[in-house]
Amino acid sequence: MLFEGEELVYNVRYGFIDLGQVKVRTVGRVDLPGSLAYDCVANIGSYESVPFVTLRALYQSQVDTGFFARRFYGRSSEGKGSTFSRYFFDYQSNRVIMETGRRDSVVEKRDTVGLSGPLQDGLSLFFLARQQVRSVRRMNIPTLVMEKKVNTFIDFRNERTSVEVEAIGHPVDVVRFDGTAEFVGLFGLTGDFEGWFSNDDARVPIQAKMKVIIGSVTLELMSWKRGGWTPPRARE
Q: Walk along the chain (236 residues) and give the pLDDT tens digit of each residue.
A: 899 999 999 999 988 889 899 999 999 999 988 789 999 999 998 888 876 667 788 999 999 998 999 999 999 886 667 889 999 999 999 999 999 998 767 889 999 999 888 899 989 999 999 999 999 999 999 999 888 888 999 999 999 999 999 999 999 999 999 999 887 665 556 678 999 999 999 999 999 998 876 678 899 999 999 999 999 999 87
> What is the C-alpha separation between 8 and 13, in angstroms, rounded?
16
Whether 30 maps to a domain, the answer reads yes
> What is the C-alpha separation between 107 and 86, in angstroms, rounded?
9
Whether 52 maps to a domain, the answer reads yes
| Residue 7 dihedral angles phi and psi, to the nearest 5° | -140, 120
> What is the C-alpha separation between 196 and 162, in angstroms, rounded?
8
How many structural domains does the chain have?
Answer: 1
Whether 233 maps to a domain, the answer reads no
Whether 67 maps to a domain, the answer reads yes
Whether 234 maps to a domain, the answer reads no
pTM over 0.95: no
Whether 59 maps to a domain, the answer reads yes
The pLDDT value recorded for residue 208 is: 94
> What is the C-alpha separation between 236 and 114, in angstroms, rounded?
50
Whether 1 maps to a domain, the answer reads no
Measured between alpha carbons, how far apart are the two ends of the chain, in Å?
A: 27
User: What residues make up the domain containing 137?
Assistant: 7-225
